[in-house]
């Protein structure tokens, strides 16, 4: 079983709004390096086509009364062939893939992503009449969920895999919308995608996939019960024997402080001296207090409730009063953007805020910061803590999901064992987060111990090597069951 069709709504570097893009941009490549023949299927968004990436026409695919064009490309440096679904609803619409400039979801998102699912199912079952047909159909998050349900309606369905990146977004729409999508009536069933009078894209996949994976063992456990299951816990509990938690990796060639071209100075675990240069430059660039002995806390992420902003904001102010510095990069809910802007205006020497996202700046913050803040209410896996480990920036995280799986708290036992890599706290409260920050500030006052923990952090294997091998093992294990 070597042919894999990997389907996602975004993938770095072609299009990115969040962590899904990082995974879809690196896991297929890691699987290809293990010998798999991989095709990555994405919508041909306007942003992708306007970037000037060379593409060739592969096929026209009939979807009943509709047609799409399938384009082929291969990004520089990648071992994966990318197939792009070209249709005016994707290709003629500038801006964010999912919502307008006011953060309102595009009203035709159900139809747009149903189209992607129909193309994926057609390729998977041979109905696209291509020279290549996969042994495995691997879909990701709600946008691609019905592809598995559609493929399962055919006799020639390959092994199907569905990865849950975030259960918070399920793609739930009413019956009228379902009827407009022209899905087979069989999908409107409690044993398929119907869920309390709506059609749930995510449930359609969970009901039919041969294999269900999540992006960490911790999250795989959390989603079997409320509140982690986000309403789907009974469905997931019913499928528990087929649910597997596999921790995400990162692209360690892209995220490598020894070769990172975005950094003012490069460094490594063997020679971390360049890290202080990155910090000094970032302090100057942002107008923060230019004192390298002051600890610098970083935050990069979506500004919303899930990321713990309600407990983070008062502690950012408290850090400023303590004399520490904080640098923030992100965008999201206007109330959080406004609150951060007000804090930066009140404490210009202590708090720097950049609203938006800049890939180069994200790399520079990871390299400059001493501590990275991730007080998430829930976190399926998280990637920034992995970038932080790689860059010798101690992650300060809440003990949830993938954060609990990837960061080891610093305490007398873990220091003695040599396993400490960051700071971990339990309760989703302002007080619990501040206690963890206080422990970080105390650790900062012990330079030798700090360097030991930083060395441990940078020694962690955060690559896709082990995780990709685990996916490959699952493909083979379930493939043998079907044989």
pLDDT digits (tens, 9 = 90+) for 70-121: 999 998 888 999 999 999 999 999 989 999 888 889 999 999 999 999 999 9
The pLDDT mean for the chain works out to 97
What is the tens place of the pLDDT at every residue in 284-338? 999 999 888 999 999 999 999 999 999 999 999 999 999 999 999 999 999 999 9
Residue 161 lies in a domain: yes
Task: Tell me, yes or no, whether 300 and 212 share the same domain.
Answer: no
Q: Is 391 a residue whose pLDDT tops 70?
A: yes
Q: How far is CA 393 from the centre of its chain?
A: 19
Q: What percent of the chain has pLDDT over 70?
A: 100
Sign of the alpha-carbon dihedral angle for 286, 292, 293, 298: positive
What Cα–Cα distance (Å) separates residue 177 from each residue in 174, 183, 194, 196? Answer: 5, 10, 12, 15
Residue 372, token pair as written in the block: 């990275």
pLDDT of residue 64: 86
Question: Number of C-alpha atoms within 13 angstroms, CB side, residue 161?
Answer: 26
Residue 265 lies in a domain: no
Task: Tell me, yes or no, whether 291 and 221 share the same domain.
Answer: no
pLDDT of residue 154: 95
Task: Tell me, yes or no, whether 45 and 187 share the same domain.
Answer: yes
Task: Tell me, yes or no, whether 449 and 468 share the same domain.
Answer: no
Closest CA to 381 of 313, 437, 462, 457: 462
Q: Is 483 a residue whose pLDDT tops 80?
A: no
Residue 261 lies in a domain: no
Residue 255 lies in a domain: no
What Cα–Cα distance (Å) separates residue 192 from each residue in 6, 30, 114, 443? Answer: 22, 32, 15, 52
Count up the domains in the chain and report the number: 2
pLDDT of residue 51: 92
Task: Tell me, yes or no, whether 76 and 211 share the same domain.
Answer: yes
Task: Tell me, yes or no, whether 217 and 317 share the same domain.
Answer: no
Buried residues in 276-302 as b, exposed as e (16+ CB within 10 A): ebbbbbbbeebebbeeeebbbbbbbbb
Range of the domain at 156: 3-249+464-482
Q: What is the DSSP letter of 143?
A: G
Tokens 């409320």: give the residue: 226
Q: Is 370 a residue whose pLDDT tops 80?
A: yes
State how far the Cα of 289 lies from the Cα of 285, in Å rounded to an integer: 11
Residue 12 lies in a domain: yes
Task: Tell me, yes or no, whether 27 and 131 share the same domain.
Answer: yes
SS3 at position 252: coil
Task: Tell me, yes or no, whether 206 and 58 share the same domain.
Answer: yes
pLDDT of residue 346: 98
Task: Tell me, yes or no, whether 130 and 224 share the same domain.
Answer: yes
DSSP assignment string, 184-242 = -GGGSSTTTTEETTEEEHHHHHHHH-SEEEESSHHHHHHTTSTTTTTT-HHHHHHTGGG
Residue 263 lies in a domain: no
What Cα–Cα distance (Å) separates residue 103 from each residue in 17, 107, 168, 331? Answer: 12, 12, 17, 11
Instruction: Establish whether the linkage from the previous residue to 227 is cis, with ω within 30° of 0.
Output: yes
Prediction pTM value = 0.94
Element (H, E) at 68: strand 66-73
Task: Tell me, yes or no, whether 228 and 340 share the same domain.
Answer: no
Residue 427 lies in a domain: yes
CATH of the domain at 392: 3.40.50.2000
Of 51-65, 138-152, 398-412, least confident by mean pLDDT is 51-65
Total number of residues shown for the chain: 483
Tokens 């935050």: give the residue: 299
Question: What does the angle CA 467 – CA 471 – CA 477 come to, to the nearest 5 degrees?
Answer: 140
State how far the Cα of 232 lies from the Cα of 234, in Å rounded to an integer: 6
Tokens 């404490």: give the residue: 347
pLDDT of residue 470: 98
Please, are residues 138 and 4 in contact by the beta-carbon 8 Å criterion?
Answer: yes
What Cα–Cα distance (Å) separates residue 304 from each residue in 85, 107, 238, 309, 372? Answer: 31, 22, 31, 6, 17
Please, are residues 19 and 165 in contact by the beta-carbon 8 Å criterion?
Answer: yes
Residue 59 lies in a domain: yes
What is the tens place of the pLDDT at every residue in 394-449? 999 999 999 999 999 999 999 999 999 999 999 999 999 999 999 999 999 999 99
Strands 198-200 and 172-173: antiparallel
Please, are residues 351 and 323 in contact by the beta-carbon 8 Å criterion?
Answer: no
Task: Tell me, yes or no, whether 302 and 215 share the same domain.
Answer: no
State how far the Cα of 357 lies from the Cα of 161, in Å rounded to an integer: 31
Alpha helical stretches, state H, 309-382: 309-322, 334-346, 359-368
pLDDT of residue 1: 60
pLDDT of residue 481: 86
Average pLDDT for 6-28: 95
pLDDT of residue 65: 85
Please, are residues 200 and 153 in contact by the beta-carbon 8 Å criterion?
Answer: no
Please, are residues 70 and 56 in contact by the beta-carbon 8 Å criterion?
Answer: no
State how far the Cα of 251 lies from the Cα of 239, in Å rounded to an integer: 31
Task: Tell me, yes or no, whether 282 and 227 share the same domain.
Answer: no
Closest CA to 112 of 33, 42, 34, 214: 42
């Amino acid at each position: 079983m070597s042919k894999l069709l990997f389907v996602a709504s975004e993938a770095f570097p072609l299009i990115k709004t969040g962590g899904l893009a990082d995974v879809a941009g690196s896991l297929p490549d890691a699987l290809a390096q293990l010998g798999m023949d991989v095709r990555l299927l994405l919508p041909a968004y306007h942003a992708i086509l306007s970037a000037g990436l060379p593409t060739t026409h592969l096929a026209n695919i009939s979807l009943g009364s509709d047609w799409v064009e399938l384009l082929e490309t291969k990004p520089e440096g990648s071992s994966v062939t990318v197939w792009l679904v070209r249709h005016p609803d994707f290709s003629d619409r500038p801006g964010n893939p999912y919502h307008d400039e006011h953060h309102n979801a595009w009203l035709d998102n159900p139809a747009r992503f149903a189209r992607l699912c129909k193309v994926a199912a057609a390729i998977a079952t041979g109905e696209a009449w291509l020279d290549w047909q996969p042994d495995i159909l691997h879909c990701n998050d709600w946008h691609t969920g019905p592809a598995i349900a559609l493929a399962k309606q055919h006799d020639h369905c390959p092994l199907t895999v569905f990865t849950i990146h975030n259960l918070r977004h399920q793609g739930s729409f009413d019956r009228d919308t379902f009827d407009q999508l022209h899905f087979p009536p069989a999908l409107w069933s409690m044993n398929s995608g119907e869920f309390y009078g709506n059609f749930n894209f995510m449930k359609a996949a969970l009901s039919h996939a041969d294999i269900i994976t999540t992006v960490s063992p911790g999250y795989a456990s959390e989603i079997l019960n409320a509140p982690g299951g986000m309403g789907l816990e009974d469905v997931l509990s019913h499928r528990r024997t087929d649910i597997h938690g596999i921790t995400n990796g990162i692209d360690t060639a892209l995220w490598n402080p020894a070769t990172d071209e975005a950094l003012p100075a490069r460094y490594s675990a063997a020679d971390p001296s360049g890290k202080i240069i990155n910090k000094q430059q970032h302090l100057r660039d942002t107008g923060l207090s230019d004192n390298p002995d002051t600890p610098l806390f970083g935050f990069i992420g979506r500004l919303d409730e899930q990321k713990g902003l309600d407990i983070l904001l008062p502690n950012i102010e408290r850090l400023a009063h303590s004399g520490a510095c904080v640098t923030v990069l992100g965008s999201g809910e206007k109330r959080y953007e406004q609150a951060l802007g007000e804090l930066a205006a009140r404490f210009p020497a202590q708090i720097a805020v950049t609203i938006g996202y800049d890939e180069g700046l994200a790399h520079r913050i990871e390299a400059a910061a001493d501590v990275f803040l991730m007080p998430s209410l829930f976190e399926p896996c998280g990637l920034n803590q992995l970038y932080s480990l790689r860059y010798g920036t101690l992650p300060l995280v809440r003990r949830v999901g993938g954060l609990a799986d990837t960061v080891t708290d610093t305490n007398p036992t873990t220091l003695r064992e040599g396993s400490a890599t960051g700071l971990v706290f339990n309760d989703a409260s302002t007080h619990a987060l501040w206690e963890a920050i206080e422990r970080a500030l105390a650790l900062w006052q012990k330079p030798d111990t700090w360097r030991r923990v930083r060395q441990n952090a940078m020694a962690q294997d955060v690559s896709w090597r082990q995780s990709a091998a685990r996916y490959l093992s699952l493909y083979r294990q379930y493939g043998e069951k079907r044989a």
